[in-house]
Amino acid sequence: MVGDSLNKTGANLLIKALQKNNINRMYGIVGIPVTDLARLAELRGMKYYGFRREDSAVNAAAATGYLTQKPGVALTVSAPGFLNGLTALAQATKNCFPLIMISGSSERHIIDLSQGDYEGLDQYNAAKPFCKKAYRVDRAEDMGLAVARAIRTAVSGRPGGVYLDIPADTIVQEDDAADQSNLGVYKLVDPAPKQVPNNEAISRAVDLIKNAKKPLIILGKGAAYDRTEKQVQQLVAETNIPFLPMSMAKGLIPDDSPHSAAAARSLSLRNADVVIVIGASLNWMLSYGDAPQFNPQAKFVQLDIDATQFDSSQPISAPLQGDLKSILDKLVPALLATGYQAPEEWLEQIAQDTEKNDKKFAQRIANGKVAQKFGYYGAIAPIAEYFQQHPDTYLVSEGANTLDIGRDMIGMQLPRHRLDTGTWGVMGVGLGYAIAAAVETGKHVVALDGDSAFGFDGMEIETICRYKLPITVVIINNGGIYNGIGQVVPDQIGPTTLDPTARYDLMAKAFGGDNYFVSNYDEMKNIFARAVDSGRPNIINVQIAPSMGKESGHIGNLNPKLNLQPLEENERSHHND
């Protein structure tokens, strides 16, 4: 009888509904009121991964969704734990990563009368602005339906985050109407139906592209999520249209492809007359498609599953709505049937600019290996060399200069092998994403962090060590946010200043992992491959000069500048007196 009673509880029905839909992992932090829910999940055969902060657990679930096309599942406690996870839920929605965040919560009658419950908060309504949809399950008998709706909402259309609110009473509540043969859980049929574009839209796009003198393809992470590599590789190979990958689309076509215009990015955007946007948005990362970064006369072809994305920043001359694979399955053969080839003059223009910029970049890297002041280029060069030789290694990166320079230096050969701060550019995703990549793929993972970025989720090194995951955390330490030379008031530490001598690597040692400290190129070259190949949790603390790094990295234009120079000079003069 005890077993029968347990089987009918909301907790058991939740777990069964997830498992019925082939969701067998859960990331989270337990406490009131979800502790036994996590225990039951393990007893029923789910793999539960316990974290140190909720946002990291939710980030791990979000990365799982991106890597598997199934919603990752995160579990949090009520109120403060829910709020800690909310940023990651919002980010997953912005990034279009399918995710279900499940939180225990208070009973409605206590919340609605503001009676002051333990960790009381109207979580259901608080979550709504930050996710695709929020659902609250007040009856155990509705659990199967709630999970089904959450899964379909997360993966259909433009993927994103879903919040599932589970009051404490629902966890232990029994569905008295259920019997052992019908617990009200079921497997969804076609949770993300294909959406095929109409022929008229395809013809309009083909007519525009085939007349292009300077065509350009922009690949976004949506194209990587939708597994379009076969179609886009054929499109590029058979038309010679050059492409630019956004950071998480790197590897969709190998970065060393001769068709890549990444090294001629500015020239390509400024001159392209037809821009084909596949799985990307014309948002801040693409300057909204505006001049002078883009040709003001450019025509846009945009492929997206959500029609509200069209005309968001620029007029879209040929909108193509549908899932990306279905669009490309029609667009590619239709364009190839015209015999279209990108004009040689355009390709030669890009090739010349690429060669010029590649030479400059190669010299910068060569100088970085021998420079007296050890900096980013010397630190990251061994990582880039390793990834060239071991392409089936996963990279997660965050920071300012670390992220920007690493993105330019480290080539990706395979799709979905690079994860980073994404659409919002939020710090603190690194170790959660890295844990998910290691768990979901079983491959070696490199988490490349700036010292500031590592501070957001650094305690997850204990999680990495506890589960003995094959993750190498590389911390580029210049002692500051952007750099470590920001002190202007003598008796105060500057707002951007951290500790350039910090031994972050000792955190790995404290929790049973391996630790390495390097301060020049040769040390990094000797240690990096050995650390990754060990398959053990480890931190490599890379100490570079505090003067290395510019404010806000490549996006300093987004950080408003005040004329502080007179005050700074006055402060220095006063101090010298």
223-272 pLDDT, tens digit each: 999 999 999 999 999 999 999 999 999 999 999 999 999 999 999 999 99
Distance, in Å, from the CA atom of 382 to the CA atom of 515, rounded to the nearest integer, reads 17
Q: Which two tokens stand for residue 343?
A: 């004009």
The pLDDT, as a whole number, for residue 179 is 65
AA identity, residue 240: N
| Helix pair angle (143-155, 10-20), 10° resolution | 40
CA atoms within 13 Å, Cβ hemisphere of 72: 32
Q: Which residues contact 200 (CB under 8 A, 6 or more apart)?
A: none
Predicted TM-score (pTM) above 0.85? yes
Tell me the average pLDDT of the chain. Answer: 95
Report, as an integer, the average pLDDT of 219-226. Answer: 98
- The amino acid sitting at 431 is L
Tokens of 399: 């920071």
Q: What percent of the chain shows pLDDT beyond 70? A: 98
- Compute the average pLDDT of residues 213-227: 98
Residue tagged 């279900």 (tokens): 100
Residue-wise pLDDT for 395-427, tens only, equals: 999 999 999 999 999 999 999 999 999 998 889
Q: How far apart are CA 451 and CA 428, in angstroms?
A: 11
Give the separation between CA 250 and CA 243, rounded to whole angstroms. 11
Q: Say how far apart CA 20 and CA 53 lie, in whole Å.
A: 28
Q: Provide the 8-state DSSP code for 182.
A: B
Q: Are 316 and 285 in contact (CB under 8 A)?
A: no
Q: d(Cα 51, Cα 56) in Å, to the nearest integer?
A: 7
**DSSP category for residue 404:** H
Find the length of the chain.
Answer: 577
The neighbour count for residue 348, using CB atoms within 10 Å, is 10
Report the alpha-carbon distance of residue 68 to residue 45 in Å, rounded.
Answer: 19
Number of H helices, E strands in the chain: 23, 17
| CA–CA distance, 274 with 298 (Å, rounded to integer) | 5
pLDDT, residue 206, reads 98
CA gap 482, 400 in Å, rounded: 6
What is the token pair recorded at 428? Answer: 């603190």
CA angle 298, 302, 306 (to 5 degrees): 145
- The CA angle 431-434-440, to the nearest 5 degrees, is 140
pLDDT band at 214; cut points 50, 70, 90: very high
Residue 278 is inside which H or E element, if any? strand 274-278
Cis before 490 (ω within 30): no
Q: What pLDDT score was predicted for residue 556?
A: 81
Cα–Cα distance measured from residue 394 to residue 211, given in angstroms and rounded to the nearest whole number:
39
pLDDT for 1: 34
Report how far residue 81's alpha carbon sits from residue 91's, in angstroms, rounded to the nearest whole number.
16
List, for residues 70-118, the tens digit of each pLDDT value: 999 999 999 999 999 999 999 999 999 999 999 999 888 888 888 888 8
Residue 97's nearest CA partner among 105, 106, 88 is: 88
